């Protein structure tokens, strides 16, 4: 039996008769897809910094290339280098295999009639949907874990960056349980675990940690009787450790218990891949029998790490308030 308008309103749905007639709109063009992805990415923390890649294919490979070792040799005038002295870059691929995600936002006709924006409300709603999609995609890419599919089917779609940084071959995993809330000690340990060949430009790296941890760390620094302490107390100074920016990420999960624990991830954000299948669809379906327009969002996404050896992650970080 169809829900009444009152029941729909109680479920926090929205509506407008101006969003289209009965039926489904055409899917996005490539330009609209790029704009939708831009709107989804911009308000987030990790997504604007990571390597966002797109393809018309559902599954594809991204090439990677690196000169990890020395290429220069002693030279002799008029003599070419011996074969053994010639350098060849290390190459490889990052395989992106996207999975389907879907969302639906039902909206009642009456809501549109009550909005001051009237016709402009459609644009506002579209921007809000894009931002919400970006938030949910970032959560999946950060905290995805196939092991939780039974309790959280959405996060169980694939392993995200935190899980891959802990489990892929060559991962640098540090158990920070013994460090308590000595976050500087954890930062130092993670930095030491990254091979020196990847640390040519430290400012390209980021420490990603829960918002709660950045707030606690800023408070710790503010207690120092120095100009830097005053700056931290005012909240005007960027948090860094050995020139590496520290970023608070609201969507890094915290495990509650006697001691609340979480993760700290150290990596170059360009080493994190966010894969987007270009065929994002945002469709509208209006059913005049119910007076409800549904916005249906369909996308395919994936999260990968280009070189797990260039990442380090701390687990069991004490973030207890």
**What is the sign of the dihedral through the CA atoms of 224, 227, 232 and 238?**
negative
What is the per-residue pLDDT for 281? 82
Which residues does 293 contact at the CB level (< 8 Å), separation at least 6?
A: 15, 16, 17, 19, 20, 106, 107, 109, 284, 285, 286, 287
What is the model's pTM? 0.81
Q: CB of 278 within 8 A of CB of 30?
A: yes
Q: CB of 285 within 8 A of CB of 106?
A: no
Helix or strand or coil: residue 80? coil
C-alpha 260/C-alpha 289 separation (Å) is 49
Query: What are the pLDDT digits (tens) for 228-283?
Result: 555 555 555 689 999 999 999 999 999 998 899 999 999 999 999 999 997 788 88
What is the per-residue pLDDT for 225? 62
C-alpha 7/C-alpha 100 separation (Å) is 29
Q: Which CATH architecture has domain 5-62+94-148+274-305?
A: 2-Layer Sandwich (3.30)
Query: What are the pLDDT digits (tens) for 83-122?
Result: 888 887 777 788 999 999 999 988 887 876 666 566 667 6
pLDDT tops 50 at residue 16? no
- Please report the DSSP string for 122-159 in residue order: HHHHHHHHHHHHHHHHHHHHHH--GGGTTT-TTTTSS-
Query: What are the pLDDT digits (tens) for 183-221?
Result: 999 999 999 999 998 998 999 999 999 999 999 998 888
Alpha helix segments (H runs only) across 194-226: 211-222
C-alpha 251/C-alpha 135 separation (Å) is 8
Determine phi and psi for 229, rounding to 5 degrees: -60, -40
What is the side-by-side order of every strand in the sheet holding 244-249? 173-175, 312-318, 261-267, 206-210, 244-249, 240-241
Distance of CA 160 to the CA centre of its chain: 9
What is the per-residue pLDDT for 210? 96
Cα maximum dimension of the chain = 88
What is the per-residue pLDDT for 87? 80
């Amino acid at each position: 039996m169809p829900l009444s308008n009152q029941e729909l309103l109680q479920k926090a749905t929205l509506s407008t008769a101006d969003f289209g007639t009965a039926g489904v709109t055409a899917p996005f063009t490539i330009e609209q897809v790029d704009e939708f992805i831009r709107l989804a990415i911009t308000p987030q923390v990790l997504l604007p910094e990571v390597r966002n890649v797109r393809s018309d294919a559902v599954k594809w490979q991204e090439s990677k290339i690196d000169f990890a070792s020395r290429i220069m040799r002693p030279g002799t005038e008029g003599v070419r280098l011996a074969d053994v002295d010639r350098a060849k870059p290390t190459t490889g691929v990052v395989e992106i295999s996207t999975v389907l995600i879907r969302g639906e936002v039902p909206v009642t006709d009456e809501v549109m009639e009550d909005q001051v924006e009237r016709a402009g409300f459609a644009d506002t709603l579209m921007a809000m949907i894009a931002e919400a999609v970006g938030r949910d995609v970032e959560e999946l890419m950060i905290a995805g874990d196939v092991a939780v599919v039974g309790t959280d089917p959405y996060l169980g779609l694939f392993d995200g960056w935190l899980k891959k940084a802990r489990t892929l071959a060559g991962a640098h995993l540090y158990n920070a349980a013994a460090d308590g809330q000595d976050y500087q000690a954890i930062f130092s340990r993670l930095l030491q675990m990254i091979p020196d060949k990847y640390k040519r430009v430290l400012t390209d790296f980021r420490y990603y940690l829960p918002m709660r941890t950045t707030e606690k760390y800023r408070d710790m620094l503010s207690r120092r009787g120095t100009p830097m302490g005053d700056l931290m107390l005012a909240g005007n100074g960027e948090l860094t450790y050995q020139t590496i920016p520290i970023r608070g990420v609201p969507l890094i999960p915290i495990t509650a218990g006697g001691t609340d624990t979480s993760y700290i991830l150290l990596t170059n954000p360009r080493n994190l891949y966010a894969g987007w299948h270009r065929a994002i669809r945002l469709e509208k379906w209006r059913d005049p029998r119910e007076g409800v327009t549904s916005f249906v969002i369909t996308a395919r996404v994936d999260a990968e790490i280009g070189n797990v050896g260039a990442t380090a992650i701390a687990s069991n970080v004490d973030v207890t308030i």
